[in-house]
Amino acid sequence: MPLPVPVPPDGVDPAWLPMEAFRPLGERRTLIRGSGPLVETVHGEVAWACGVFGGEAVRDGSGDAGYDLVLDVVADGEWGDEGFAYGREGGRTTVTASGQRGLLYGLFHVVRLGGTAFRGDCPRETHRPAVALRMLDHWDNVDVHPVMGQVERGYAGGSLFWRDGRARGELERVRAYGRLLAACGINAVCVNNVNVHASEARLLTDRLGEVADLAAMLRPYGVRTHLSVTFAAPVVLGGLPTADPLDEAVRQWWSGAAARVYAAIPDFGGFVVKADSEGQLGPFTYGRSHADGANMLASALAPHGGTVHWRAFVYDHRQDWRDRSTDRARAAYDHFAPLDGEFADNAVLQVKHGPMDFQVREPVSPVFGAMPRTRLAVEVQATQEYTGQQRHVCWLGPMWSEVLRFRPAGEEGSAVGELAGGGLVAVSNVGDDPYWTGHPLAQANLYTFGRLAWQPSADPLGVLDEWIALTFPSAPERLTEGLRSLLRGSWRTYEKYTAPLGVGFMVQPGHHYGPSVDGYEYSPWGTYHFADRDGIGVDRSAATGTGYAAQYAAPWAGVYESPATCPDELLLFFHHVPYAHVLHSGKTVIQHVYDTRFEGVEEVEEARRVWASLADLVGAERHARVAERYEEQVRGAREWRDQVNSYFLRKSGVPDARGRPIW
């Protein structure tokens, strides 16, 4: 039986799966062969499209009866669980997969191609994800947290899963969500915050049924469910006196817990763990290593085929700002690199892409070049905590692509996207907002993440074009061009008007929105820029600084060590320089500060104008929502410009060479 398509409920945006995107498929005759629940999902999709557009979906018919499209699962296929072969010859398009998931991804490939899938010939091509695990981590709380709210760092309304302490039970919306994820290649979701509070802890035990309900909705779209668990669970849930990972009773408790999870959710993905981090308990409490902690959970999951995702975000968040010898950027490497080779096969170390915390510009974490015998996952942040909180447009595709293409051992070595055998993970930017992501244009971040996770070497601009074509089917060139111009450079624009040259963290403390140049300067969080009357930046060189630069292998250790070779955009991350220091661009640091702040604001003003000019081409509601956010972005960018410029004029006493207003 075809599975009915979970079209989003009334008033909810179809995002990149509007009905119109299914027209080319829906007008044609399609044969679907194979068996299993995901084949019924595919059948449901095709039948639905044909019901709307007049085509025909035939199940298991013979192969030669004038079909435009044949979707086939063959038992002896060579494309793995998720891959497929695509081709077109003699007026017939074929998608052949060796597994049901592959068929589902093949179907969405056809949808993406639109009319092109049914024109001309196309030699057979193989499509296979480069990364097996493509995951979204939701920082969703079950209870409303007094400070962080329902969704920690969430800018898209409430949670899709939880509200006021309960499962929401709006399972159709969850199903529609799973469908959107499948269409961009995401195959795993962690349904609760890595900061696991009291109610959330119980999702592992007596509230497991609520997780199983979500898993049942996501499963037909090939999305596996994962759970964040607290390392303290044996104590807080099991009543044991300790959570020591080497204690036999603790190990048994976890084995039992894992077995019960698998009894309820047979295809459960595994645990996500934030331990010894920002106040969460971890193995350090018991004098054990992080490998001891991760491996204990890995062994509880191993009999069931599960994986533990152990986060590397471990640092001292109670640092004394007077202490110049501690460098937060060093922390992940210092804690984890010595443990390389000690982690179990089903333990994945999940590493934030940069050494600090999702700033608009950071170097790539040196951990990726330092742990060849460990399965690593790259964690990026789709939710725009430090990049405009979905009130500002900041399309992160180019940033993620730079990270994934970075080669820690230089040109001859592998790229981060290849080293991430443990998966690509994004912190989700989705909530119960009618546009899913608050800012309608922030949908592009979610879509781009999925496609880059499938193929980390993909050109992000190509992915952006896909998103535009799907989301706005039959868009006139003016709209396509307009959207491109709004999104393509938006990350660099955001970088221009916020914190300069990789220095980061000039945000308001706590909520992290808007400028506060010294907001984190005298705080315990390890996030300093050290601006004084003469200069700015953090000396992380090996020769005179914290030694962070030496955590990289050649050639990067050398490149970053000296201001002469360090790329401009990271200069203040690695070096403390005088305001008169001349960048490779030929400008002084201080003039760069001024110029980029002014340019950034001008670019946002221009974007607002472009969006206004597209009013006749997008729906009125969407237009109004984005227009209103551009007002806020312009206001916010000006505030950034004026605070940052005034701060540096006052510190340095060096006027703007162009004499523009600074306060």
Token output for 254? 């976890």
Helix (H, G, I), strand (E, B) or coil at 227: strand
358 binds ligand GCW (CB under 6 A): yes
The single-letter code of the amino acid at 268 is F
CB of 652 to ligand GCW, least distance (A): 30
625 binds ligand GCW (CB under 6 A): no
CB of 232 to ligand GCW, least distance (A): 16
Task: Determine whether 121 is exposed, middle or buried from the number of CB atoms within 10 Å of its CB (0-12, 13-18, 19+).
Answer: exposed
Phi then psi for 87, rounded to 5 degrees? -165, 170
Q: Give whichever of 200 and 385 is closer to ligand GCW, judged by the CB atom.
A: 385
The single-letter code of the amino acid at 510 is G
Q: Which of 173, 224, 274, 529 binds ligand GCW (CB under 6 A)?
A: 274
In the region spanning residues 131 to 150, those forming contacts with ligand GCW, defined by CB under 6 A, are: 139
Contact between 612 and 603 under an 8 Å Cβ cutoff? The reply is no
Token output for 659? 């004499």
CB of 267 to ligand GCW, least distance (A): 26
x/- map, 415-454, ligand GCW, by CB under 6 A: ----------------------------------------
Residue 30, strand partner residues: 57, 69
Task: Report DSSP letters for 523-588, one per residue.
Answer: STTS------SSEE-----TTTS-SGGGGSPTTHHHHHHSTTTS-GGGHHHH--EETTPBPTTSSB
153 binds ligand GCW (CB under 6 A): yes
Q: Give whichever of 357 and 569 is closer to ligand GCW, judged by the CB atom.
A: 357
x/- map, 522-541, ligand GCW, by CB under 6 A: --------------------
Residue carrying structure tokens 């996952």:
377
CB of 427 to ligand GCW, least distance (A): 7
Catalytic option among 385, 433, 466, 656: 385
Distance CA 49, CA 587 (A): 57
Phi then psi for 188, rounded to 5 degrees? -155, 145
Token output for 31? 């044969």
Catalytic option among 40, 357, 466, 656: 357
Q: Give whichever of 153 and 304 is closer to ligand GCW, judged by the CB atom.
A: 153
Distance CA 397, CA 390 (A): 15
Helix (H, G, I), strand (E, B) or coil at 89: strand
Distance CA 578, CA 563 (A): 11
Q: Give whichever of 79 and 336 is closer to ligand GCW, judged by the CB atom.
A: 336
Is there a catalytic annotation at residue 278? yes
Distance CA 77, CA 176 (A): 29
In the region spanning residues 306 to 325, those forming contacts with ligand GCW, defined by CB under 6 A, are: 313
276 binds ligand GCW (CB under 6 A): no
Q: Which of 152, 210, 244, 656 binds ligand GCW (CB under 6 A)?
A: 152
Residue nearest to ligand GCW (CB): 357
Farthest-apart Cα atoms in the chain, separation: 80
CB of 313 to ligand GCW, least distance (A): 5
CB of 497 to ligand GCW, least distance (A): 21
Closest by CA position to 185, among listed 390, 468, 463? 463
Are β-strands 92-97 and 84-89 bridged in parallel, bridged antiparallel, or unpaired?
antiparallel
48 binds ligand GCW (CB under 6 A): no
Residue 376, strand partner residues: 349
Distance CA 336, CA 127 (A): 34
x/- map, 180-209, ligand GCW, by CB under 6 A: --------------xx--------------
- If binding means CB under 6 A, how many residues of this protein chain bind ligand GCW? 11
CB of 352 to ligand GCW, least distance (A): 7
Which residues contact ligand GCW by CB under 6 A?
Answer: 139, 152-153, 194-195, 274, 278, 313, 357-358, 385
Question: Annotated active-site positions, please?
Answer: 278, 357, 385
